[in-house]
Amino acid sequence: MKLASMATLIAVVGAAAGGAGAAESAGGLALGAKVPAAVAKTKMKNVDGKMLSIADVTGKAGTLVVFTCNHCPFAKAWEERIVELGNTYAAKGIGVVLVNANDPAMHPDDGFEEMQARAKSRGMKVPYVVDDTSGVARAFGASVTPEAFLFDKAGKLAYHGTIDDNRQEPDKVKARYLKDALEAVAAGKKPAVPETKGLGCGIKFRG
């Protein structure tokens, strides 16, 4: 379908609502915001057993924080691409950390040992840490897995959203949102598309 006619359809259902809908939760860090001070130095256990904070992994060119997990089919579908981007841009000066904020009591697959196994099998060269109170995810306003937050070298949120436009068929991706944003931030530029959305699993917040 042509983009213009799709926009018309969205206007019919979406804009006709005109804000009448009362969303029960929404939000997330605003573009330009910094990592919330309350959690920037929160230590989280990495799959190698060491304790790391987002401040510890901050890169010279920027910092990428991705909320993800083991069990979610959406996160799994994008996992290979997330790891590849993380490994690639970590070598280009972007600090990268993958964060699992899910309560493993709700999904045993999201437990620490399973994270270690996943990190090994996927060849992760970047930290994959446990947000063991879900407090970091809450402070970010993260609600979905996977959900990416990319900060520029000044520490300001430059990109927030999903990975690309085709979860199911990697070879048919047309818009590589996160890759393009990483490329821009690594080059000291603003991403052309700073905010996106994708379907995902709700984060299984701990108590």
Partner 1 sequence: MPIALLVASLMTVEAGTPTRVDVAELPAIVAAIKAPGAQAVLVNVWASWCEPCREEMPDLVRFYRDHRAQGLRVVLISADDDDQRAEVARILGALGFDGPAFIKRGNDMSFIDALDPKWKGALPATFLFDGHGVRKRSWLGAVTYDDLRTRVSGLLNRRKR
Which residue ranges make up the site for partner 1 (CB under 8 A)?
1, 5-6, 9-10, 12-14, 16-18, 20-26, 28, 73-74, 106, 143-144, 147, 162, 165, 167-168, 196-203
Q: Minimal distance in Å, beta carbon 15 to partner 1?
A: 9
Q: How far is the CB of 29 from partner 1 (least distance, A)?
A: 12
Nearer to partner 1, 15 or 38 (CB): 15
Is the Cβ of residue 51 or residue 175 nearer to partner 1 in the bound state?
175
Q: Which is nearer to partner 1, 5 or 121 (CB)?
A: 5
Specify whether the CB–CB gap between 139 and 52 falls below 8 A: no
Sheet holding 157-161, edge to edge: 51-52, 44-46, 128-130, 94-100, 62-67, 147-152, 157-161
Tell me the closest approach of the beta carbon of residue 172 to partner 1, in angstroms.
11
**In this structure, what DSSP letter does residue 85 have?**
H
Query: Least distance (Å) from partner 1 to the CB of residue 31?
Result: 15
- Coil, strand or helix: which one is 4? helix
Distance CA 67, CA 149 (A): 8
